[in-house]
Structure 1
Amino acid sequence: MLLKDKVVIVSGVGPGMGQALARIAAAEGARVALGARSKDLIEEVAADIKAKGGQAIAVPTDISSAAACEAMAQATIDAFGTIDGLVNTAYIHGAWLPVDEADPEDYARVFDVNCLGAMRMAQAVIPTFKAKHDGAIINVSTMSTVNPFTGEGGYATGKGGLNVLSRHMANDFGKYGVRVNHTRMGWIGGKPVYDYIDRAVAAGGDRDQITAEITGRIPLGIIPPEDDCAKAVLFFLSDYARVVTGAVLDVNGGQYMAP
């Protein structure tokens, strides 16, 4: 199993890829700590993991609070004895507005969660990583940081900060044996995207046409399935990536290809 005996924290376990990350990490042998503001959801996912024979805990966590991030790290150590990996997938989107209409305060709130939240979580786990001279951090970002979409300025600005922060983390944490990488996600075939399509259909759109418009921009010709996207992220936690740090992986079916 790819993550056998590893202890992994997944922050931002929501109805989209976050829950898939947690479930697949557990299926690959990890003991998983699930963090998010939604207590009911993370408890449901943790219960499902345990029902399938895995090990998981649910810790309600607001990553805008350093104390909450530290409590998340401590709860993981109390439950499993150590921490081996952190996946920072928590985010908020902010208002869907073009930049000329956007509220700077909304951008600041998004940046605080999307970028600084990952920093708080990293700082919460780094003492454990330093002590064992080992660890891996994966920061989940977005293709819209390099391939803009109207209305995603705030979200992408926060995640763009995360892209830069990831490289500085890799540089600063390397001397402790800690690897830091990030992924830039495109369309993810899970509940948030299919809910978006459902709303467009309810507003009078044609489902096949809407789906074709999305997949027509993706060389693989599909909306990348949620589980496959999650597996690409989790690769960086595995021993197959032990000498990979400071890297970025585009996970988008080829819609954006970095130069």
Structure 2
Amino acid sequence: MLLENKTAVIYGGGGAIGGAMARGFAAEGARVFLAGRTPATLDAVADDIRAAGGLAETARVDALDGDAVNGWVDSVVETAGSVDVSVNVISHETLFGPLLELPADAFARSLEKIARTLMLTTQAAARHMVKQGSGVILHFGGSDSGNRSPGLGNVQVGCEMVEAMRRQWACELGPHSVRVLSMKTGGVAESMPDGPEMAPVKQQMVDATLLKRATTLADVSRIAAFLVSDHAATMTSTQVNISAGALVD
């Protein structure tokens, strides 16, 4: 198994993306600790993992609260002995529209939340990973440097900020054998709501790819498990493009 004897913490573990990663990690032998603000969704993912023979625990944690984040990660290390993987895929507020028309205060607040949660969760894991001399921090979203689409509001700007943080963390943590990576997909249709109004959007996502297939939750699950495993031990400070060609490097 790729992740046998590894411990993974996942913020937003009850969501579609976080749940997919959690199931993938557990299937490869990791003990997963799921954090979020909605116990019911966390428990649903944990129940699936346990039913498949995996190990999963849940906790209600506000990923914007420094004391809560640090206290939880410390408790995970005390219980499991280490934290080997940290993933933050909590949902963020999206503000679409031309930058010229967006309220400056709302725009700034939305970006502050992204920066704050990534700083808090990465710091909490990195403190332990540096002591261990190992670990992987995985971001999700990535950026599209060739983007020419207007009206994306805080979405593209937020993604670029995540990538800038990933690069800085990678160069600071690399000497301690801690890897920092991100994934970009161009969108995961399965993670979006169902309904006739969403069908054209999902089809557009497929049409935009070179392979004429959208990235699936299974793709996210399998590739994330590989990236945080020792099989990807030489990969750090980069984003991994799993967009099926929707985003061209």
| TM-score normalized by the length of structure 1 | 0.88
Given candidates 209, 232, 237, the residue that maps to 1:246 is: 237
> Is this contact kept in 2: 1:20–1:227, CA < 8 A?
yes
Which residue is equivalent to 1:230?
Answer: 221
Deviation of the 1:105 alpha carbon = 2.3
Matched residue, 2:89 = 89
Aligned to 2:54: 54
8 Å contact kept, 1:20–1:230: yes
User: Cα 1:148–1:58, aligned 2, differ >3 Å: closer, same or farther?
Assistant: farther
**Structure 1 counterpart of 2:197, from 194, 197, 200:** 200
- Give the 3 Å change call, closer, same or farther, for CA 199–155 of structure 1 in structure 2: farther
2:203 & 2:95 partners in 1: Cα distance?
26
> Are the counterparts in 1 of residues 170 and 236 from structure 2 also a CA contact under 8 Å?
yes
Distance 1:36 1:63 in 2: 8
Q: CA deviation at 1:211?
A: 4.4
CA-CA distance at 1:239 after TM superposition:
0.4
Does the 8 Å CA contact 1:18/1:89 hold for their aligned counterparts? yes
| Matched-pair contact (CA < 8 Å) for 1:218–1:254 | yes
Deviation (angstroms), 1:37: 1.8
Superposition deviation, residue 6 in structure 1: 0.7
Q: Classify the secondary structure of the residue corresponding to 1:256.
A: coil
Equivalence for 1:204: none
- Contact 1:112/1:158, CA 8 A, preserved across alignment: no
Which amino acid is 1:100 matched to? L
Q: Say which is worse superposed, 42-51 or 240-249, in terms of deviation.
A: 42-51
Mean CA deviation greater in 73-82 or 120-129: 73-82
Alpha-carbon spacing, 1:112–1:91, altered in 2? closer, same or farther (3 Å): farther
Report the Cα distance in structure 2 between the residues aligned to 1:2 and 1:238, rounded to whole angstroms. Answer: 6
Amino acid in structure 2 at the alignment position of 1:177: S
The 1-side partners of 2:237 and 2:227 are apart by 11
Query: Offset at 1:38?
Result: 1.8
C-alpha contact (below 8 Å) 2:14/2:44 kept by paired residues: no
1:30 aligned partner, one-letter code:
A
Cα deviation per residue 1:204-253 (whole Å; 9 max; x = unaligned)? xxx4x554433221111012111102322332210011121111111211
Whole-Å separation in 1 of the counterparts to 2:93 and 2:212: 26
**What is the distance in 2 between the residues matched to 1:211 and 1:237?**
29
The answer for the alignment partner of 2:157 in structure 1 is 157
The number of equivalent residue pairs is 249
What does the per-residue CA deviation read over 1:72-104, in whole Å, with 9 as the maximum and x for residues that have no partner?
212322332211111122231323322122122
Confirm or deny that 1:256 pairs with 2:247: yes
Match of 1:12 in 2: 12
Q: Percent identity?
A: 24
Deviates more, 1:171-180 or 1:102-111: 102-111
CA contact (8 A) 2:73 2:124 kept: yes
Q: Which runs of 5+ in 2 are unaligned?
A: none
The one-character-per-residue Cα deviations of 1:99-149 (angstroms, maximum 9, x if unpaired) are 122122222232233233112111101221111111111111244565254
Paired with 1:243 and 1:113, the residues of 2 have a C-alpha distance of: 31
Deviates more, 1:98-107 or 1:26-35: 98-107
State the distance in 2 between where 1:243 and 1:186 align: 25
Corresponding position of 1:180: 180
Amino acid paired to 1:238: S
Deviates more, 1:236-245 or 1:110-119: 110-119
Distance 2:171 2:143 in 1: 23
The CA distance in 2 between the partners of 1:178 and 1:102, in whole Å, is 38
Counterpart of 2:147 in 1: which secondary structure?
coil
Distance 2:25 2:159 in 1: 23
Q: Structure 1 residues 104 and 68 mapped into 2: Cα distance closer, same or farther (>3 Å)?
A: farther
**1:41 alignment partner in structure 2:** 41
TM-score by length of 2: 0.91
Superimposed CA distance per residue, residues 22-49 of structure 1 (whole angstroms, 9 cap, x where no aligned partner): 1111111100011122222112211221
